[in-house]
Amino acid sequence: MSLVLHAHPLSSFCWKAIIALYENDTPFDLQLIDLGSPTAHAAFLALWPIGKMPVLQDKARGRTIPETSIIIEYLALHYPGKQALIPSDPETALQVRLWDRFYDLYVSMPMQRIVEERLRPADGKDPHGLAAAKARLATAYDVLEREMVNKAWAAGESFTMADCAALPGLFYANKVQPFASSHPALMRYLERLSQRPSIARVLEEAKPYFQMFPQEG
């Protein structure tokens, strides 16, 4: 197989790349990263010293591609499929990139900060950082509620890279800071996302790992 994605099925950013691959039925091998194994961790760091998941290897072209948005852009360029995740129209593509960045930076990142706080030992808690993350997430919810009242997908009428970014962030954010009752349009969007076949497949495959998600405490 030419394409190998180094990822973990519980990682929100890995979901984003996998959704893109599934959306276009792009053949690839999934290489699970076991960060609990020093040998596996060292091998991954040799591939990408920053150590952030996921990383795509294109063996046919001799390329290693990190960062989810760049992975999806790379796939659109070299392995395009039936679903244009990056529209050809420059103005529409700009909106896709805007909302892709919004979901990564203002939904997924504060969500991860809240999850990280749950993993901190009792003597290492950071209440100020946690409060800032919750406030940032609340602001993002308000922005997205206004956006999604009249939109089917993140950047308009077509499913794009922005929606690949939206699902992982919203799925986990709704677990750490629920928004169903306060932001109904955003919740309807999350439900719409969850029913899309590529996303339903990702969620189903991740189910065995959900027990690893840190609960409140």
The CATH number for 24's domain is 3.40.30.10
Sorting pLDDT into bands at 50, 70 and 90, what band is 119? confident
Q: Does the pLDDT at position 122 exceed 90?
A: no
pLDDT, tens digit, for every residue of 163-172? 999 999 999 9
53 and 126 share a domain? Answer: no
The CATH number for 124's domain is 1.20.1050.10
Phi, psi of 5, deg, nearest 5: -105, 120
Q: Which of 29, 56, 78 is the last residue of a domain?
A: 78
End-to-end alpha carbon distance in the chain: 42
pLDDT, tens digit, for every residue of 59-74? 999 999 999 999 999 9
pTM of the model: 0.95
* Cis peptide bond upstream of 121, omega within 30: no
Sorting pLDDT into bands at 50, 70 and 90, what band is 36? confident
Task: Please give the average per-residue pLDDT across 152-159, as a whole number.
Answer: 95
39 and 108 share a domain? Answer: no
CA distance 215 to 119: 9
CA distance 16 to 69: 9
Beta-sheet strands, E only, within 55-198: 55-58, 63-66
Task: Please give the average per-residue pLDDT across 145-173, as a whole number.
Answer: 97
Question: Taking a C-beta distance cutoff of 8 angstroms, is the pair 47, 6 a contact?
Answer: yes
Q: The domain containing residue 151 runs over which residues?
A: 90-196
Going by the DSSP 8-state scheme, the letter that residue 156 receives in this structure is B
47 and 120 share a domain? Answer: no
**Under DSSP, is residue 83 helix (H, G, I), strand (E, B) or coil?**
coil
7 and 98 share a domain? Answer: no
Mean of pLDDT over the chain: 95
Position 206 scores a pLDDT of 95
Position 217 scores a pLDDT of 53
30 and 60 share a domain? Answer: yes
pLDDT, tens digit, for every residue of 74-112? 999 999 999 999 999 999 999 999 999 999 999 999 999
181 and 96 share a domain? Answer: yes
How many domains are contained in the chain? 2
